[in-house]
């Protein structure tokens, strides 16, 4: 068994979701290598070399890989794929964008968003918005899979001593170009990694009212999420969306405020350890999954809750 | 420019699926089926590009049993010009779908292929990317804005940290995110007209693709049930429970 894990990073910092992907790879067993694709990403390679359980870090460092466009990075992965039985990437937008291309170029299927490793060729994954868990077996020569970060416990970021080597030729992305990006800036913890998440839905009424959630979140050291309704109504940006089509979170505490609890939202948060629902509609489906429910007007109780903590 | 749109027949998004008693699969007998919501957005975007004079023909493709002709007719009623059904067994895997679509693309030579970013049944999020790879064409996944300018297309993508804009040379492949547009409803006259629009039926064999899968479904289980919780009556009680019972806040 020899597994290649594709690192998630922004050319400066290795993202924690890489550690959970390595955890999934470790469960398969065998040598785990990490591939860092980027530009000026030597620092990321060094961080990757410190991850416990990693044998080798392979680095493709070239200006052509600055924005990790799928067209050229997928070809690069295929060029270094020789000899690996498994290729894993985190199920982030970067991983989801690139890895299916890798699978198609290798003429194999891809397993998306795996949540458990049963054996080297058998995995579990959620289907139908998390309403069923499928056990799937792959007989493809190379198992290509994206890994659900919240389903695995991260391996230690320190304690490893992997070798670092440069790999791959530079492959230019000719027919696809990066134009620009607009990243949301926040001092709060990252949504998918936070131990507490406070989320607001349509019941928040407008974007300004999210300020009371931000105040509560800051008191708790929590990240702030949202339902699709809140995003579509323009209250908050889309990268805060929790659900089937947004982010998957599994914090210790999830506080759903003014969220009814549609199937698509539950898909993104129902693996949270403790769920609290605050909603004035006592029949809201969210109460069926909430450990603690409070039927009340959020505008009365959120400031009160913040003060009580 | 010709636009090719791929649509999938899936369980209606409001239906809560049940796992069969023998745990071999989910139970899809007698459940309401519909066009995958992301595919609806893809059709809508194609129709809007036609209304802007950028596209001159919209071809809609669906792969599966005869029943998926219903979803092709829906797309025709929304404004697509003609349909192609590729007859296969139920739900082939993403790689087979991508290979079949690649054959259709080679025949039709569309300037743009638009697909949904994922189907809400298998939740794979793969087909568009695989198709682009097989055709060696550029891709823009999770699109929330599409601007065609001559032989280029500028696409804003929803990424984890926010938004990213890329520019692709046509021909290209785009997959839609929810915020790309709000799909229209088909009017009754358009539904009637759609019945007269051409719909070709092809088979996987005719296209020279062997539909097989390297992935076997061993079983399906319901997700772990959550214990029913309790309702608290006040903020004070909630805080007390969180601190002393659940111990998730200090």
Q: Is B90 on the interface with A (CB under 8 A)?
A: no
- Would you call B201 helix, strand, or coil by DSSP? strand
- Spatial separation of the C-alpha atoms in residues B36 and A61, rounded to whole Å: 39
B230 touches chain A (CB under 8 A): yes
Domain-by-domain residue ranges, chain B? Answer: 2-222
pLDDT at A240: 95
The residue count for chain A: 309
pLDDT at B226: 84
Q: Which DSSP state fits A151?
A: G
**What pLDDT digit, counting tens, does each position of A136-158 carry?**
999 999 999 999 999 999 999 99
Contact (Cβ atoms closer than 8 angstroms) between residue A10 and residue B162: no
> Residue A161 CA to chain centroid, in angstroms?
26
pLDDT at B245: 87
Cα torsion at A243, A245, A247, A251 (round to 10°)?
20
Question: B66: Cβ–Cβ under 8 A, 6 or more apart, which residues?
Answer: B85, B87
Helix (H, G, I), strand (E, B), or coil: what is residue A196? strand
Chain A contact set for B32 (CB, 8 A): none
In this prediction, residue B227 carries a pLDDT of 78
A-B contacts at Cβ under 8 angstroms: 257
pLDDT given at position B180: 96
Sequence-ordered list of residues with C-beta below 8 angstroms from that of B83, at least 6 positions apart, any chain? B59, B60, B61, B62, B69, B72, B73, B75, B76, B197, B198, B199, B200
SS3 call for A15? coil
pLDDT band at A168 (very low <50, low <70, confident <90, very high): confident
Average pLDDT (A113-119) is 97
For residue A49, what are its two tokens? 């070399």
* b/e sequence A99-124, b meaning 16+ C-beta within 10 Å: bbbbbbbbebbbbbbbbebeebbebb
Residues B116-158: tens digit of each pLDDT? 999 999 999 999 999 999 999 999 999 999 999 999 999 999 9
Specify the pLDDT at position A293: 96
Closest-CA distance of chain B to residue A31, Å: 24
Pairing of strands A132-138, A122-127: antiparallel
Asked if A12 reaches chain B (Cβ–Cβ under 8 Å), the answer is: no
**Could B217 and A135 be called an inter-chain contact, meaning their C-beta atoms sit closer than 8 Å?**
yes
* CA-to-CA dists, residue B61 to A158, A250, A265, B1, B201, angstroms: 50, 37, 30, 17, 10
Mean of all residue pLDDT scores within chain A: 95
Structure confidence by residue, pLDDT tens digits, A203-223: 999 999 999 999 999 999 999
Residue B198 buriedness (CB in 10 A; 0-12 / 13-18 / 19+): exposed
The DSSP code sequence of A263-276 is HHHHHHHTT-SEEE
**pTM of this structure:** 0.94
Contact A283/B at CB under 8 A:
no
B47-75 confidence digits (pLDDT tens): 999 999 999 999 999 999 999 999 999 99
Whole-angstrom distance, CA of residue A23 vs CA of residue A200: 31
Is residue B165 within 8 Å of residue B197, measured between CB atoms? no
Peptide bond into B171 cis (omega under 30): yes
**Adjacent-strand bridge partners of B166:** A178, B155
Say whether residue A68 is in contact with chain B using an 8 A CB cutoff: no
- Whether A191 contacts A15, CB under 8 Å: no
- How far apart are the C-alpha atoms of A101 and A73, rounded to whole Å? 9
CB A22, CB A105: distance < 8 Å: no
Instruction: Look up the CATH architecture of domain B2-222.
Output: 3-Layer(aba) Sandwich (3.40)
B56-72 burial, b if ≥16 CB within 10 A, otherwise e?
eebbbbbbbeeebbebb
**Residue ranges in chain B whose pLDDT is less than 50:** none
pLDDT at B248: 80
Residue B228, chain A, CB below 8 Å: the answer is: yes
The ipTM assigned to this model is 0.94
Place of tokens 């979803």: B71
The bridge status of strand B172-176 relative to strand B162-169 is unpaired
Whether residue A96 lies within 8 A of chain B, CB to CB, comes out as yes
pLDDT at A255 over 80: yes
Quote the minimal CA–CA distance from A291 to chain B in Å.
4
Q: Tell me which DSSP letter residue B185 carries.
A: P
Rounded to 5 degrees, what are φ and ψ at A248?
-100, 130
C-alpha A70: how far from chain center: 18
Mean pLDDT on A245-265? 94
Residue B187 Cα, gap to closest chain A Cα (Å): 25
Pairwise CA distance, residues A170 & A73, whole Å: 9
Task: Please indicate if any CB of chain B lies within 8 Å of the CB of A83.
Answer: no
Question: Helix count (H) and strand count (E) of chain B?
Answer: 6, 13
> From the CB of residue A183, how many other CB atoms can be counted at a distance below 10 Å?
14
Q: What pLDDT does residue B90 have?
A: 72
Interface test with A, best of B38, B136, B248 (most A CBs within 10 A): B248
The shortest CB-CB distance from B215 to any of A136, A174, A293 is to: A136
Q: Can you tell me the distance from the alpha carbon of B160 to that of A241, in angstroms, rounded to the nearest whole number?
A: 10
- Tens of pLDDT, residues A194-208: 999 999 999 999 999
Q: Which residues contact B186 (CB under 8 A, 6 or more apart)?
A: B74, B77, B78, B194
pLDDT tops 90 at residue A48: yes
Q: Which residues pair with A2 in a beta bridge?
A: A31
């Amino acid at each position: 068994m020899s597994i290649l894990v594709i690192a998630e990073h922004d050319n400066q910092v290795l993202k924690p979701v890489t550690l959970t992907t390595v955890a999934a790879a470790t469960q398969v067993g065998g040598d785990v290598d990490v591939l860092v694709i980027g530009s000026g990403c030597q620092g990321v390679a060094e961080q990757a070399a410190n991850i416990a359980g990693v044998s080798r870090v392979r680095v493709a460092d070239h200006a052509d890989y600055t924005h990790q466009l799928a067209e050229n990075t997928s070809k690069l992965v295929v060029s270094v794929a020789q000899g690996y039985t498994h290729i894993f990437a985190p199920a982030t937008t970067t991983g989801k964008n690139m890895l299916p291309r890798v699978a198609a170029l290798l003429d194999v299927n891809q397993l998306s968003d795996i949540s458990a490793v049963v054996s080297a060729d058998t995995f579990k994954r959620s289907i139908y918005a998390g309403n069923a868990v499928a056990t799937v077996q792959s007989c493809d020569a190379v198992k290509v899979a994206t890994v659900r970060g919240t389903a695995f416990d991260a391996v230690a970021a320190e304690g490893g001593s992997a070798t670092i080597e440069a790999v791959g030729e530079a492959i230019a992305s000719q027919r696809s170009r990066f134009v620009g990006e607009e990243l949301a800036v926040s001092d709060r913890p990252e949504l998918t990694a936070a131990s507490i998440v406070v989320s607001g839905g349509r019941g928040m009424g407008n974007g300004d009212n999210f300020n009371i959630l931000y105040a509560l979140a800051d008191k708790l050291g929590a990240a702030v999420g949202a339902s699709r309704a809140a995003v579509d109504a323009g209250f908050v940006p889309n990268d805060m969306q929790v659900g089937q089509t947004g982010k998957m979170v599994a914090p210790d505490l999830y506080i759903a405020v003014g969220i009814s609890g549609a199937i698509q939202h539950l898909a993104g948060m129902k693996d949270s350890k403790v769920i609290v629902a605050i909603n004035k509609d006592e029949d809201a489906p969210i109460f069926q999954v909430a450990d603690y429910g409070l039927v009340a007007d959020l505008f009365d109780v959120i400031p009160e809750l913040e003060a009580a903590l | 420019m010709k636009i090719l749109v791929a649509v999938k027949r899936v369980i209606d998004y409001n239906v809560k699926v049940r796992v069969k008693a023998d745990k071999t699969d989910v139970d899809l007998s007698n459940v309401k089926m519909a066009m995958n919501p992301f595919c609806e957005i893809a059709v809508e975007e194609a129709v809007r590009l036609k209304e802007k004079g950028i596209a001159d023909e919209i071809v809609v493709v669906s792969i599966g049993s005869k029943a998926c002709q219903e979803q092709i007719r829906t797309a025709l009623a929304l404004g697509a010009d003609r349909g192609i059904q590729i007859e296969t067994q139920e739900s082939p895997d993403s790689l087979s779908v991508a290979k079949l679509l690649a054959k259709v693309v080679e025949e039709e030579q569309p300037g743009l292929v638009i697909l949904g970013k994922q189907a809400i049944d298998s939740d794979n999020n793969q087909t568009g990317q695989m198709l682009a790879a097989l055709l060696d064409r550029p891709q823009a996944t999770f699109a929330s804005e599409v601007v065609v300018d001559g032989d280029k297309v500028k696409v804003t993508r929803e990424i984890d940290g926010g938004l990213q804009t890329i520019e692709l040379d046509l021909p290209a492949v785009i997959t839609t995110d929810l915020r790309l547009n709000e799909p229209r409803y088909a009017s009754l006259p358009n539904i009637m007209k759609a019945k007269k629009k051409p719909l070709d039926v092809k088979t996987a064999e005719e296209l020279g693709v062997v539909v097989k899968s390297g992935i076997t479904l061993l079983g399906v289980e319901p997700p772990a049930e959550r214990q029913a919780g309790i309702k608290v009556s006040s903020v004070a009680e909630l805080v007390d429970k969180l601190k002393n019972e659940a111990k998730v806040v200090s």
